[in-house]
Amino acid sequence: MCTLAHVFEAAGLATVAISAIKDVSSRMHPPRVLHCEFPLGRPLGKPNDAAFQHDVLRHAFGLLERNSGPVFEEYAETIVGAEEAISCTLPPRFDPSLPPAVDEARGIRKAYDRARARRGVTSVGRVIDADGVPGALAVLREIADGADWTTVEIPGRNTIAVAHDIRTYYEEAALELVEGPDPGPRGAEAWFFEKTEAGKLLLAARQVIKDQGAKRPIWFYMATGHRR
């Protein structure tokens, strides 16, 4: 979004962007941006509230009156709470000799299989299938423990695709494990990163890859930008 804004402005088209992740938009300095501290997945804030959404758009388009920039403004109202993690009971440890995330991934396999059978499709498969998730987590464990990320056997040599497949495997399994209604549009994401061993391991490996000097796109897009 921010990159496209620069491209369009260079071609003579005025732009305004609505930002959901403050760190990214402030770093990339788009010509005009309204940052909205709303849950990811709700760029205009409140579902089914036309007046609120129109007010957000009015503030955003109002920035077009600013002829020079970059312009960075924040919407006055903040919405919190919609990223509360869904409630999913994970199976108990089965093999304590395995890294916790690897054992955990094996433990939710039946839930993943039920979800795939019910839906008929899966989004796991960029570089690994469900069978490859435990092995990919074992590789991330090596990295988190300090191994050089450039020498370990990352499936497909693609950190982003591996992270996508692992997270998707968990979130699809969560469809069978969830207890009660999903409290928000990013509830499964919050559950993965905050409640599961795999999510915590992915963030730890991401930090090590960053600390080892990898280029920003290699580690940054392994998780949503606001995750640390």
Where on the phi/psi map is residue 157: left (φ > 0), alpha (ψ -120 to 50), or beta? left
Say what the pLDDT of residue 211 is: 98
Question: For position 210, what pLDDT does the model report?
Answer: 97
**What φ, ψ does residue 17 adopt, rounded to 5°?**
-120, 150
Q: Is the pTM of this model over 0.85?
A: no
* DSSP E strand stretches across the chain: 17-19, 32-35, 71-74
Identify any residues that bridge with 88 across adjacent strands, giving them in sequence order: 178
> E strands, 28-82, where?
32-35, 71-74
pLDDT recorded at residue 68 = 75
d(CA 63, CA 71): 8
The residues of the chain scoring below 70 in pLDDT are 40, 80-85, 180-185
